[in-house]
Structure 1
Amino acid sequence: MGEVKLLATNESFPCARIEWALKIKGVEYEYMKENLLNKSDLLLQSNPVYKKVPVLLHNGLTIAESLVILEYIDETWKQNPLLPQDPYDRANARFWARFIDEKCVIGVWKAGVAQGEGKGEAIQSALESLALLDKQIEGKKYFGGEEIGYLDIVAGWIPYWLNVLEQLGDMELLTPQRFPHLHQWSLNLMQTAPVKDCLPPRDSVVDYFSFGFNYVRSMT
């Protein structure tokens, strides 16, 4: 299916999503690590709108934004489907993927960087979003059923990256008592080969997000 390159950085969970998907599909690719403090000309040319990773290069085509890339991968390489085959289930998966990125990720980030009187309210908002996600995984091994699927990949930041955000934000969100189904799903996901084989060193993730936390806090 041609040459595949991934512009990415190890510490970014949107980039990890793409690696997981490519490995599940069995697609060979070249990993091109980006320094986000000194972005390459290739990245700036490939994603001139947002100038960020991940970017997938396939036979001269460029695809940006992790959710878009995931769907491109699923439609290009048909083996081991990520999205459900049923139209309703596919639409539902897309809905929850946007919920994860627009509510869960942003909610946890806001709770982490929040300070003072507003922190408690921000944490409560993040907990409410995670509670809705916890209900979605109840009674299932993975969001995709017995095999890892699209939503598992999208939510795959939770088992590893969330703990770093909790540490930096001085908060505790994902506990087995509070979210038993999401917690068990996290344990299951961390045992799968595509996920555990593509995790960056924790210290580098802490450094990566510390920069963003400190920058946002300095602006408030």
Structure 2
Amino acid sequence: MVGVYAVARNVWATKGEEQEAAKKEFIEILKVLEGELGDKPYFGGETFGLTDISLIGYYCWFYAYEKFGNFSIESECPKLIAWVKWCMEKESVSKSLTDPHTVYDFVLGMKKRLGLE
């Protein structure tokens, strides 16, 4: 199985059929996570734990994936985005993550450096 990073990278680094396949696989990965989350506020249940800490850092990349892939993670995985919003209410989380627009600008620069425009 291809790693999550490689799949997510292909959402912004490819075009056409390859990008469509990457988007589909990325959304499938997010849906698996959403299934594990279920109706709980956090992956471990009622308390913010290690799994949440491990995963919330990916949120700052979502905007870039959505913009380059032309899709909405919230419409595909609403429970996962509800979890993100729940996590972002914690000051320790909201103050720790990079602004999604900064990540988007970084990805734009990467695309230029790699000749992927």
Scaled to the shorter chain, the TM-score interval is 0.7 to 0.9
Establish whether residue 171 from structure 1 lines up as the match of residue 70 from structure 2. yes
Would you tell me which structure has more strand in proportion to its own residues? Answer: 1
Identity %: 22
* Whole-angstrom CA distance in 1 between matches of 2:14 and 2:65: 12
TM-score (norm: length of structure 2): 0.81
- The equivalent of 1:17 in structure 2 is none
Alignment equivalent of 1:185, drawn from 76, 83, 89: 83
Establish whether residue 204 from structure 1 lines up as the match of residue 63 from structure 2. no
Q: Deviations along 1:144-168, whole A, 9 cap, x unmatched?
A: 222221111121134332113322x
Higher CA-based Rg: 1
Gaps of 5+ in 1: 1-98
TM-score (norm: length of structure 1): 0.46
| RMSD over equivalenced CA pairs, Å | 2.4
Gaps of 5+ in 2: none
Map 1:27-176 to 2 at 5 A: 102-103=3-4, 105-167=5-67, 169-175=68-74
Alignment size in residue pairs: 116
Would you tell me which structure has more helix in proportion to its own residues? Answer: 2
Aligned CA distance change for structure 1 residues 200 and 131 (closer, same or farther; 3 Å): closer
Greater RCO (Cα-Cα under 8 Å, separation 6 or more) = 2
Tell me the CA shift for residue 203 of structure 1.
Answer: 4.1
Tell me the CA shift for residue 127 of structure 1.
Answer: 1.2
Tell me if structure 2 keeps the 8 A contact 1:111–1:122: yes
